[in-house]
Structure 1
Amino acid sequence: MKAAQYDAFAARYDAENASSMLNAHYERPAMLSLAGEVRGRRVLDAGCGSGPLAAELLRRGAVVTGLDASPAMVELARRRLGDDVPLHVGDLAEPLPFADDSFDDVVASLVLHYLEDWSAPLAELRRVLRPGGRLLLSVNHPNVRVFNFPQEDYFATREYVETLELDGQPTEVTFWHRPLRAMTRAFTDAGFTISLVEEPEPSPDTPPELLPPRIVSGERSAFLCFLFFVLEAPAL
């Protein structure tokens, strides 16, 4: 997806991200839980969007830098985070405007599944992480496509389009499906060690009216939606 497409629905995406079940009560709490104690840590929010995750990391004491390909998203993030937080318009497929070993952590929240090629972005994220640093990321769970579209080839890396409701309006969004084995191969080829793979439950403070009925009833404790990884840049 091109930055101009994000620009076109930036305000609607921001509104949806702020309060939706999948963003506010599932993905973002899970990312923060994986991050743990971040006070004093230098964190790059790669694909920061309008800045809700960066705002929470700041509140927890992290030293945050944001980057996003969409100028409209970066402008929304600037309004949310203030002028003291460094924010950059930049494409993860291009060299990043940071020196080697600049960050203790990188968070890439629901970003990589928009990209066809992961090798260049992962190499750059590895470069800007200090030895021993972490890359925490979330992507669309590849098994969801198998359940919803069993006729598709799970093992093929391919583009697909979904129509999402963003602040009540249907919006076409383009993603790239890749199987789990392609994800893990890309991580290790970039020099990362995979330290954790997670399929979290919804946050316990999720309003019941937002939860699927089978979760509310206690029949299920979780559902498949996003897949989370914690990767480590090996120490010297």
Structure 2
Amino acid sequence: MSDYDAVAEAYDLDNEKSLQNAYYERPATLALAGDVAGRRILDAGCGAGPLFAALRDRGAVVSGIDVSTGMVERARLRLGAAADVRVADIAGPLPFADEEFDDVVASLVLHYLEDWGPALTEFRRVLRTGGRLIASVNHPTAEYIIERMQGRRPDYFAVYSQAGEWPVGDQMVKVTFWNRPLHAMTDAFTAAGFRITRISEPPPAPEARELFPEDYHLLATAPSFLFFVLEAA
């Protein structure tokens, strides 16, 4: 059972309106995806389906997977019974044929994995040659800066886990992220058969300035996420 199962509804509602998701990560990912009309896209780690819905609204043919049964149930409520949404782990074999997709979108999921290799290998397998992997992850400097501000000196070059709890509605969800330096990310991408075509550190959406005046300044001056566009070589 995923820790997200118990908070799927509350997380979905928060994701719809939060600064980090609705006005920062999701708009940035959609901007990097560009014109997706007619493209076959895998939303890997689709959660409750907001990115799936946005891509579908732009004309893409989308499939989604998530390890959380609760999140997949929320996605089916959002997207309809005919939507191709499945329970599957991005770290395991994917239930799709070779070269089935034009794009894979991995939105804030890779940093849950200690080893990116198996997931990236599967993403490359299900992508056609020349297809794209669009990925967002925790920015490699974000936790480093926080710890330095708190008087600690972490090892930026280490790959290490960080456990914590997030408030979601009136509940808490336990999370474990794996922090890694930028070169470890890029090495993993190239080892799996990808060519890096773009690295992006975008600001939040402009409308967030009025909606979240204090937090907007923080994100506009110190990014939380790092975005990649990669080509399947």
Report the TM range for the smaller structure's normalisation: over 0.9
Contact 1:201–1:223 (Cα < 8 Å) also in 2: no
The one-letter code sitting in structure 2 at the alignment partner of 1:205 is E
Partner Cα distance (1:66, 1:221) in 2: 30
2:185 paired residue among 161, 164, 183: 183
Partner Cα distance (1:92, 1:172) in 2: 19
What aligned pairs does 1:1-236 form with structure 2 within 5 A after superposition? 3-150=1-148, 151-167=153-169, 169-206=171-208, 208-212=210-214, 215=217, 221-234=220-233
The one-letter code sitting in structure 2 at the alignment partner of 1:179 is P
RMSD: 1.7
TM-score (norm 1): 0.92
What's the secondary structure of 1:135's corresponding residue?
strand
Q: Percent identity?
A: 55
Measure how far apart 1:83 and its partner are: 1.6
Measure how far apart 1:207 and its partner are: 5.3
**Structure 1 residue ranges (4+ consecutive) displaced by more than 2 angstroms after TM superposition:** 162-172, 211-216, 220-223
Contact 1:43–1:63 (Cα < 8 Å) also in 2: yes
Partner Cα distance (1:61, 1:222) in 2: 34
Aligned residues: 229
Q: Cα gap change, 1:215/1:207 in structure 2, threshold over 3 Å: closer, same or farther? A: closer
The one-letter code sitting in structure 1 at the alignment partner of 2:127 is L
Q: Cα gap change, 1:88/1:155 in structure 2, threshold over 3 Å: closer, same or farther? A: same
1:173-221 deviation line (CA, Å, top 9, x unaligned):
21111111100000000010000000001112225131336739xxx94
- Which residues of structure 2 form unaligned runs of 5+? none
TM-score (norm 2): 0.93
